[in-house]
Amino acid sequence: MNSRGIVHRTLYALAGLVGIGICAAAVALLWMDRRVTWDSAYVSARNLASVLAADIGRTLHVYDLSLQGVVERLREPGIANLDPETRHRFLFDRSASAAYLGAIVVLDPEGNILYHSGAIAPPALNFADRDYFQVHRDAAGVGLFVSRSYHSRLRGGDESIAISRRISNPDGSFAGVVVGSLRTAYFRDRFAEVSIGPRDAITVFRNDGAVLLRNPYSLADADSEVDVPPDFQQYLIGREGAFVGMLSPDGVNRLYAFDAIDGAPLVIDVALAVDDLLEPWVRRVALIVPVTLALFASVLAQIVLFRREMRWRQAFEAQLALQAQTDGLTGIANRRTFDEALQTEWAAARRDRTPLSLLFLDADHFKRYNDRYGHQEGDVLLKRLALAVKDKARRPRDLAARYGGEEFVVLLPNTSRQRAAAIGESIRRAVAEQAILHEDNEGGIVTVSIGVATAIPQDDESAAGLVEAADAAVYQAKEAGRNRVAAAPA
């Protein structure tokens, strides 16, 4: 039974490990899958930011070369003395032109248009209020400057940004600004070619945090600045990197990937909604988790069912074992159990040199009782006798058993002859005190005769001798008149 219990516990442990292993494998798989999904999204965001930054950088670089060319030609001696048409051709013939590029304008120190790439006779307009004019007027080392978006006065309010460079006199004093405009439609059309989700965004920042353009486009973005934490500002300063956070008022958690636009004081940011990035992984989780839980539950169910089956089987086997050891009529031990217990106790008494006593009990005139009252009443009587016998075998090792027919035995380990006789007398008295009617017996009630035998087993003796001695003592009791206890000679 112990080995079987060890096997069962081992099987339970293995089944539990299988269930835990299934869950652990699923968790590890999902974790690695999430890591791969996240890394792929990170790479995609960085690549997209790099591609857009390179494209915008090339456009601005070409336009900036045109501005630098105008600045260099303005330094040529006698430029102001040329006739207007020649001067115009000299200044602007090599200027870049494209669908999104506006005119290149040269402003004098007061912000008035001095030269215009689109007209030999420039319009009389002043741009001293523009940020690109003021920043060059107030500082000499700005270099290439990209303005905030504005509505062009030269193209009927078309939204544009300006790129500009300072014009300095030989002594370094301010001589004006050369400025070119770039329609913001360029950015919107370029970004429209990129496939992004409805909650994703692409933003172009200046180094100072000013938003030049955002996709999806909103008029509210014009001249706005992002309220960003210090962690975000370091990416503007470093001009590259990535982080996860919430910067927009919509409260969407996004992956922000930054890349610098080479040659310009600009940074582009590709922001991808984290929930959208992980949605494929979440769908896989929604599939794998229930399947894993179902497998785990099935393993647990098998453990429970197996354990229940084992308990039922053990209970059934225990019941069979009990039935094999128990007399079916009286409910006390049967002859087989008595024989096994006798051999065990005989060996123990021989080893320990202790007395082993046996009571042999026989119902007086039981056949007459059956003949008068019937076998069913005889069975009832046997049950009542068994209870009386069992009630006196109270110690853990004492054994009351039905020996056969109307005969009962009580095995009393480590019990002296006198003590055994006293127990036998108490059984006899208990039966007589029940006063069960038996008209064919002396006294008119049911009685029993009991034989007592005691031995301290020796090496050359067998247990059968103890049974024979107790059986012989029963016959002595019957011959002496029944309803009494007789002890075999010591």
In this structure, the strands spanning 485-487 and 448-455 are parallel
Residue range 79-96: mean pLDDT, rounded = 79
Neighbours of 60 (CB within 10 A): 21
Residue-level pLDDT at 237: 57
Residue-level pLDDT at 234: 57
Set out the domains of the chain in order of their start, with CATH numbers: 1-324 (3.30.450.20), 335-487 (3.30.70.270)
Residue with the bigger pLDDT between 302 and 336: it is: 336
Q: Burial, 325: exposed, middle or buried (Cβ in 10 Å; 0-12, 13-18, 19+)? A: middle
**What is the Cα–Cα distance from 100 to 307, expressed in whole angstroms?**
79
Q: Which helix (H) or strand (E) segment is 451 a member of?
A: strand 448-455
Q: What is the pLDDT of residues 340-368, one digit of tens each?
A: 999 999 999 999 999 999 999 999 999 99
Q: What is the pLDDT of residues 312-335, one digit of tens each?
A: 887 777 777 766 778 888 889 999
Provide the 8-state DSSP code for 210.
Answer: B
Q: Is the pTM for the entire model greater than 0.75?
A: no
To the nearest whole number, what is the mean pLDDT of the chain? 85
**What is the Cα–Cα distance from 411 to 338, expressed in whole angstroms?**
8
Question: From start to end of 246-391, where are the E strands?
Answer: 254-261, 266-273, 356-363
Q: CB neighbours of 111 closer than 8 A, spacing ≥ 6? A: 126, 127, 128, 129, 130, 133
**What is the Cα–Cα distance from 330 to 333, expressed in whole angstroms?**
9
Q: What is the pLDDT of residues 450-463, one digit of tens each?
A: 999 999 998 888 88
In this structure, the strands spanning 101-107 and 174-183 are antiparallel
**What is the Cα–Cα distance from 182 to 144, expressed in whole angstroms?**
14
pLDDT at 280 over 50: yes
Q: What is the pLDDT of residues 388-424, one digit of tens each?
A: 999 988 888 999 999 988 999 999 999 999 999 999 9
Contact between residue 231 and residue 243 where contact means Cβ atoms under 8 Å apart: yes
Both tokens assigned to 353: 């040199």
